[in-house]
Structure 1
Amino acid sequence: MLRFLGRGSAFCAENNCAFYYDNDRLVLLDCPMSGFHRLRLLVGEAPADKNISGITVLVTHTHSDHIGGIGMLVHYCCYVWHIPVKIIAPCREIAEDLRFMLLRLDGCRETAFSVVTADEAGSGFIPVPTEHSPELAGRCFGWCFEADGRRTVFTGDTNTLEPFMQYLTEGAELYTEASASDSPVHLYIERLRKIIPQLKARGVSVYLMHLDDEKKLASAATELGAELAPVV
């Protein structure tokens, strides 16, 4: 299952960031600055001691609470950890934006990282287009992939679960954003009250993330048979 370096929404101190291990690579789902600092403390000074030879970052969209730490991660992996970073973008346009940000704005060493699309990566990562912010229309995605032998669906920021339903088969794990506030760009918890029990009935495990009010959402999760995303 995924573990989290933070599960908060944009204006929280610890923004949403998940990870898992794929053999000797650590795979991140987005990388806010808060996530980078938590990762730095988790891994320590020598990634090899934890059998980490490289880091992969799956990007959902380009809001700063999701990509704000990628540049620092690349610098740190280059100059301190001496391991490569591979960034997998859900589409060509986001890949180009990330390259511009890292090379032109952040001044990252070109040999320290690579940016590829999901098609180019060929690693079983399926980008799932979704709806979130109108300013980023067509550039917001979730991901479907295998982690620890289980189908894993990660919504990123979304205001709907509809694009993800086809991937939620028996035994799957769903990591969905949930909001205590009724916002047009996020997934209001009241809209999940019917959906979560239906998913549970078909054998899907449901975890709530990107939380704007952890106390309220923890209470709702208990009522609905879901859990909050596990933080390390």
Structure 2
Amino acid sequence: MLKFIGIGSAFNTRLGNNSAFIKEGQEMLLIDCGGTVFQGLQQLDLLQGISKLKIIITHTHPDHIGSLGEVIFYCYYILNVEVELFYPNEEVIKSYLHIIGVTQAMYKLNGSKEVKFEANRLGLVNVQWLQQVHVDTMLAYGFILNTEKQKLYYSGDSSQLSDEIIEKLESGELDYIYQDSCGLDYEGNAHLYLYKLADQVKEKYRSQVYCMHLDQHIKVDEIKGLGFNVVERESVPNRIE
């Protein structure tokens, strides 16, 4: 199961920018790195003790890459930790990082259409990119993530959930779906309206679907009342200064 630093949409700042992670031993896989994520990583002490950080980027909206530069700088200058980025369009990420002063010596970039890597406690990890329907101004991606422990689909930002993904859930090829969900329905919506999600997913499978990237108009009780789960934000530990 994924854990979450933030679970909110771009404008729902009280919940933090949506960002998930898996941390096993000294290795960490981070999904997206929006403007509030570096602060969340620091508050949760998630970067302490790691030797490798891999970051999956779904698209380049600020609530998904806004603090990517800070994370890379901190890992390079303070922790001496290797950062490897995964995103299918290498030139877009390189250009963005160059503009904000991140040099190519500070990170590795993998733009393969399908990514495979070994993680000590996760075994072989496979990431299969899936282009999403989000906005006209940029490409956005979701992905299927396979590890030895779980198989999941992560939507990133998308206004649709494909029949292919639903079929994989129903056939047992996927354990979980993580889907960005919203409480407003209007023409041109860049995210998936909760009741459209309910129309697509049969009740018996809804417990395997986790709603994330929540806007201000969606209610947790409403989501759970339909049989879906809601991702939970990791709590900041109490500290005695």
TM norm. shorter chain > 0.5: yes
Larger helix percent: 1
Kindly report the root-mean-square deviation, in angstroms, between the aligned alpha carbons of the 2 structures.
2.1
Conserved? CA contact 2:127–2:143, under 8 Å: yes
Q: State how 1:174-193 maps to structure 2 within 5 Å.
A: 174-183=177-186, 184-193=189-198
1:41 to partner: Cα distance: 2.1
The answer to whether structure 1 residue 27 and structure 2 residue 25 are counterparts is no
1:217 to partner: Cα distance: 2.9
1:65 and 1:100 mapped to 2: Cα distance? 18
AA aligned opposite 1:17: S
1:35 to partner: Cα distance: 1.2
| Aligned residue among 59, 63, 81 for 1:65 | 63
1:126 to partner: Cα distance: 0.5
AA aligned opposite 2:95: F
1:106 is matched with: 100
1:118 and 1:225 mapped to 2: Cα distance? 36
2:6 and 2:71 mapped to 1: Cα distance? 16
2:77 is matched with: 79
Paired residue secondary structure (1:144): strand
| Aligned residue among 48, 51, 54 for 1:53 | 51
1:225 is matched with: 227
1:208 is matched with: 211
1:174 and 1:148 mapped to 2: Cα distance? 17
Aligned residues: 219
2:91 and 2:155 mapped to 1: Cα distance? 22
Q: State how 1:72-221 maps to structure 2 within 5 Å.
A: 72-89=70-87, 91=88, 94-102=89-97, 104-119=98-113, 121-123=115-117, 124-136=126-138, 139-147=139-147, 149-162=149-162, 164-168=165-169, 169-170=171-172, 172-183=175-186, 184-196=189-201, 198=202, 201-202=204-205, 205-213=208-216, 216-221=218-223
1:7 to partner: Cα distance: 0.6
Any idea what the Cα deviations from partners look like across 1:46-81, whole Å, max 9, x if unmatched? 722xxx211111111111110111111100101111
1:98 and 1:118 mapped to 2: Cα distance? 13
1:209 and 1:203 mapped to 2: Cα distance? 14
Query: Relative to 1, partners in 2 of residues 1:177 and 1:53: Cα closer, same or farther, differing over 3 Å?
Result: same
1:117 and 1:207 mapped to 2: Cα distance? 27
Paired residue secondary structure (1:143): strand
Conserved? CA contact 2:115–2:128, under 8 Å: no
1:135 to partner: Cα distance: 1.5
Any idea what the Cα deviations from partners look like across 1:2-36, whole Å, max 9, x if unmatched? 01110100112211111112553211111012111
Query: Relative to 1, partners in 2 of residues 1:67 and 1:166: Cα closer, same or farther, differing over 3 Å?
Result: farther
1:173 to partner: Cα distance: 0.9
2:237 is matched with: none
1:226 to partner: Cα distance: 1.2
1:120 to partner: Cα distance: 7.0
TM-score, normalisation: structure 2: 0.83
AA aligned opposite 1:189: L
Conserved? CA contact 1:126–1:143, under 8 Å: yes
1:204 to partner: Cα distance: 6.2
Query: Relative to 1, partners in 2 of residues 1:120 and 1:22: Cα closer, same or farther, differing over 3 Å?
Result: farther
Paired residue secondary structure (1:57): strand
